[in-house]
Structures are given as C-alpha cells and as structure tokens.
Structure 1
C-alpha cells in the first residue's frame, strides 16, 4: 500500500518518542470518543515492531488497543520510509479515513471470523479514528504449553490448525470482500518487498549495525547468500493465491488456551489473505522453531517438539504421491525459510531505541546461529541430488541450533 510520502533523510526521521507520544494520544482520544462516560487509563505498552499496542483500562474492562501509522511497521516508519515526522502526521490524518486502512481491514476480519465456526478469535470492543480495541484474553499461550508439555506438540499444533479448517476449505476466499484481505502480510510478498528491490543491498549491510553490534559476526553475509538462493527458488514455487484463505499471522505467543490445553484455542491478530493453507503451516513451523531457538530448552524437550513438528508437517502430505510429497515439502521449506528471514531481519534492523518484544530481543542475540541455519537449509534446497531425506536433515540442522 502506498502512502504518497517520500523517505526522509537520516536526520529527519521520526523518533521513537514522537511516535509513541502521538500513538498513545490517539488511543486515549479514541477511547474517550467510544466510551465518553468511562474512565480511561493506559496501563502498559506492549512492545512490538509492527504496530503500537497498549493495554488499556476502560471502566472495569481490560482491553488491548492497537494503532497503525500509515499501515507500515514501526521499524519502517522509524527508518524514514514514510518521510519526516510532519509529513507522517499529515499523511496519517488522511490515512485513518481510508476504508482500506490496515486496522479497518483487521477489524472487519475479526467480525467476519466471529460469525464462522472457526477459528475462535478475540472479540472487537470498538474501533475509532484508526484505533482498534479488542477484549483481553487470559490463559497460557501455545508457546507456554510447548515448553510445559513438549510431548504433546503435535496435539497442540493440531488443535491450532483444526481451528483453521473453515478458512482452508475451497471457496473460503469468497468470505472476504474485494479489498478486505491483508495480502501484504503474505510470506512471499513480504520477502520480495524486503529483498527484491533497489534498496536491498543497503538494507542487508545495515543489519550489522544498531541492534546487532558484534564485530566479525557474518550476519549480513549469511543473509545475502540465503536471499540469493531463496529468490531463485521462488521461481520454482507454484502460485500461492487460490480459493482458500490463510489466517496470515500464526505464532505461538498469539495462540491462547483460555479454557485449558484440551479445549479450543483463541487466535489473535488475523491477517487473512487469499493463499494456500501451506502458508499458515509454514508460518506456524517457522515461528515455533524461532520460539524454541530463543529458549534454553533441554535436549529431551527439543526432540519431542521437533518430532511433533515433523508429525504435523507429514500429516498435511500423507495422502499425496511420493513425487507430490517431495514437491510440497520443498514448497513448505522455502516458505519457512523466507518467513524466518523476514522476522529475523525486521528485528535486526530495528532502531536501537525501539523496545523489542521478548522474542525479538532473543532473536537478535541468536541471529548468527539462526541465519546460519537458513543459509545451510537454503543451500540444501539448491542441491538437486539431495532430495532423499531432506526433511530429516533439516530437523537435524534445527536441533543443532536449538540445543
């Protein structure tokens, strides 16, 4: 989505303080407009690299408030992609009036999902002036349960994927209106936006600064080699757009089990797009591997979790012929690697003053082993003689990084 403003020179970029003060004021004003008779208290900011999120107390309710500046990530905004701060504020004044603004689409998607038989999602409490309020959900996350019950990994992930069946049915894309999809959150779209343009070289070089300051660590070089291979592999992929929907933003910390691990989970932050169900599986696998790679998990638990991931992946292709299984596995691995690089490089390129979520901070610390993993697996995928046993080799490489 274009915003109509030009990138700012380094000295004119918006600052974290300017953006945060402005976003907090937007949330407070929107809450006052929606609930004029209720006291509004902004409690804790939720660190994020995408949008500005705050936990808010409105009367007796705890809500989560989210606002998006021009529909871009905070990292892009603070890097000057949308111009200097006066230009951003002026553009935002018009952006929030657009029916296709990011949070207008997300609010509409939550309302659509509330009327389906799955997935369960958080309830919309209100939306106004570019701010979306959702009801708070209590309960352990999928990540919490994977660490506490690693032997149940395939069951827990299966329960999450079961919620998506209504989206993965042929024809489900008709549920969304023409402009209601959030296609910019697709794995391949995000990857190409980051790595297939004129500014890619400068962006990759910059990964060795700001958040990452360890001299001699070859983060940029590892990313550069992986990007070159994955762009080549992209040409071999089938089209991802079809008649099904993908949820779009699955990650262990955004799948909650308010009624316990044996009951249906609730999913946060939809980004519905017209895509193959493999997009959801790839994101869930990618984010789960990143999650456990940034924890000090004992080797026995790691083996349980990796075996569970393999069970879930194989269950998606068990009905296919051997040739088709290999093709789907290759497709899945490419998507997984692209998504991993998307996430890692976003956090590495974040300005040092931007507070990172716990997972993001841990990803930065583990950037070299994670990028080495992507480098090695992408090289495996380029080898036409290495088809046999590729999945097992990938699991072994993941285990080396995690433990």
Structure 2
C-alpha cells in the first residue's frame, strides 16, 4: 500500500487533493504490480460520487481504473464519515489487504457473469490494491439511445431487461454466494442508512449546504422530510421480505452499451449484484431513466414518448400477473423508484463543493425542487392507499412533466 500522500492535521476531514492524489498513486502502484514492464499513462478523470475513476493506458491498451475507499461513496468520505485522513488511510490499508473489498467483489461478479454468459459484461483486466481495471465498451449507450430515439423507449428498456432473465433465476444466486453480493447497492438498504434516526435528520438538515441557493435549499429539505417519512412507513408494508434471486443492482442507462447496435446484445458495466426481487432492477431502470431525461430536459415530445415507453415497459413486466399481483407489484415498484431517486438526488445535494460532479449530477441539483415536488405528490398518493393503477398513471404524468 502506498503511503506517500500528504496527511492533514488530526481531526480534519479528508481533503479532495489528498484523496484524489492517493487514489492516483494506488492506480499507478496497482498497474505496476499487474503489468511491471508496461508504460502506464493516466488519462482524464471521470467524475463520480461513488469512487475515483480514471481512464488510463497500459502501453497502447485503453482501460478504466476504479478505486474505492472503504467501499463508501466519495461524498461520505469527504464529509468525514470514516474519520480524518490519517484514520482513513490506515483503515484503507487493512481494508484492501483482506478479501471481500468492494472492488474485489465487483471483479468477482464480472467474472461470474462472464461465465454465465448473460448479461454480457465488460472484461476484467485485473484487480489489485483496491483498484479494479476493466476494458472499455464501445457503441451507443442506452442513455444516448433513449435521448435520441425516445419513441423506441419501451423496446429499449424491455430489450435491456430481457438480458437479465438468466441472472434472475434462483440457481444463478447459488453460484455467487452471500459473501459475494454488494449489498451496498440495495435501494431500500441505502435509503435506511441515509435517513435513519438522528443522523438521518441531521443529514436532511444539511442537504444542499454547498450546492443550493438558500431558498431552494429550504424547500428541498422541507419537502424531503415529508417524503422520507412516508417512504419509511411504506418500506415496512409495501416491500416484500423474500429475497430469492440476484438483481443487477446498479442498473442505469449509462451502464448499458450496444456495441453491435440495438439488434445485438447489449454489454453491461459496473455490476452491484445483490439478493433482491426483480422489481429492484425494474425500479432502478425507471428511476434512472427519469433522472436522465430530467437532467437533459429534451422537450415535451421526448418527455411524452419516454413516459409512454416506461409505461409499455412496465406493462410487459406485469403481463400474466393477476389483478391483485399487479397492484402489489406496482406499489412496490413505485416505492422503490422514489427511494432510488431520493438516494441519488440527496447524494448529489450533499456533495462538497470541491468534488467534481458528473454533468447529470449538476443538472439534477438545478432541478431538485421539481424532482422533490414530484416525489412528494407521488408518495402522498401512494401512502393514501389510492388505487395502484391510478397512482401509477399519475406518477407517469408527473415524470413526463419533469422529463420535458
């Protein structure tokens, strides 16, 4: 483990310079260990709130390098959730020296999925010192296609989800084992960690301190307090307890590419396999699609087509279910959708000003009020135990408005 990073005074939260500098050193150290005779060049940094990601070249081979601190987000780390810099660096050394670190599990998941064959995933080039190296995937992403061809949204979402059919079979979960899952990517689990007890209330009180204008910040925090309270109550009654299959866990349009065009099989990156119901993947796909278009603001026609596509995708998932099962599935889907969107939005809002955000994150901060109002209206109807079909239809209308 490299220890050349400059330390800060005891008690200070980790600084962005030392955190990024340390991650860069670890990438170089890990690459030198894996490819001792190669020339390693670090290319551009890829902004992320979860880990430090960098494009690199090993001789003439392009790769992505991803470094994780203690398996937590960079936002949590920079806010001091893991202690000061000396504490973080010391614990990180122990963390990566033991089996089961986040990058080790992600590498194992990619290798398992490569063996299973579906879904297709990016290739692992190597993993060392808390750094995962993967090969890039070419071709248009699902995110780009949804923006360029929103009239095909139902097909694109269904085509993507169909690739998970083998993953969702109970026998596939047995091949991974409990120690290989990435429970950190659970929608309900993340929501519970973020908004539990006194720490959750403090977290909400401080939202947007470095990212929002005062008036916007007050409205966002006030509305989210109500939404979070409702979703906590719904979590106990709407979400099923059975966890029998593997969900992809970090399913988002930016993480799916079509190197052979939409007629070919897509390739997935950044898995977060966890034991869950298949509704988790459907909810993440819908949530991230809405956030994608809310950030892009492509206009009314695209918003309407995307909402129609989401509806068509959901209908295809409910085909064959009884009326009662449809109601239960829709309520579960809506609750998970809202939890996931709140998880993502609040991570961006709580990010320190010094942390570079992806463009989508910056755009969503600018739409935070509209997104929170949307979540407030949908969660109010859902908590009132209104007819699930009507809540779903109203939710799509809300999503269409925010995506336009």
Provide TM-score, normalisation by structure 2: 0.95
Q: Is the 8 A contact 1:172 1:243 kept in 2?
A: no
Q: Secondary structure at the match of 2:292?
A: helix
CA offsets 1:5-63 (integer angstroms, 9 cap, x no match): xxx99961001111000000100111011111110000001000001110001011100
| Unmatched 5+ stretches in structure 1 | 1-7
Show the counterpart of 1:341: 342
Q: Is the 8 A contact 1:171 1:243 kept in 2?
A: no
Show the counterpart of 1:305: 306
RMSD, aligned CA: 1.6
5 Å-filtered alignment, 1:38-187, equals 38-187=38-187
The alpha carbon displacement at 1:320 in A equals: 1.2
5 Å-filtered alignment, 1:123-272, equals 123-217=123-217, 218-272=219-273
Q: Is the 8 A contact 1:9 1:80 kept in 2?
A: no
Residues in 2 aligned to 1:338 and 1:10: alpha-carbon distance in whole angstroms: 36
Pair 33,388 (structure 1): closer, same or farther in 2 beyond 3 Å: closer
Q: Is the 8 A contact 1:106 1:271 kept in 2?
A: yes
The alpha carbon displacement at 1:192 in A equals: 0.1
Runs of 4+ in 1 over 2 A off after TM superposition: 8-11, 213-217, 237-243, 384-388
Pair 385,47 (structure 1): closer, same or farther in 2 beyond 3 Å: closer
Pair 240,271 (structure 1): closer, same or farther in 2 beyond 3 Å: farther
Q: Is the 8 A contact 2:293 2:403 kept in 1?
A: yes
Residues in 2 aligned to 1:360 and 1:184: alpha-carbon distance in whole angstroms: 20
Structure holding more helix per residue: 2
Pair 163,240 (structure 1): closer, same or farther in 2 beyond 3 Å: farther
CA offsets 1:222-251 (integer angstroms, 9 cap, x no match): 110000000000111243542210000011
Residues in 1 aligned to 2:365 and 2:126: alpha-carbon distance in whole angstroms: 35
Q: Aligned residue pairs: how many?
A: 396
Residues in 1 aligned to 2:301 and 2:241: alpha-carbon distance in whole angstroms: 36
Residues in 1 aligned to 2:245 and 2:16: alpha-carbon distance in whole angstroms: 38
The alpha carbon displacement at 1:385 in A equals: 3.9
Q: Is the 8 A contact 2:378 2:391 kept in 1?
A: no
| Unmatched 5+ stretches in structure 2 | 1-7
Q: Is the 8 A contact 2:252 2:288 kept in 1?
A: yes
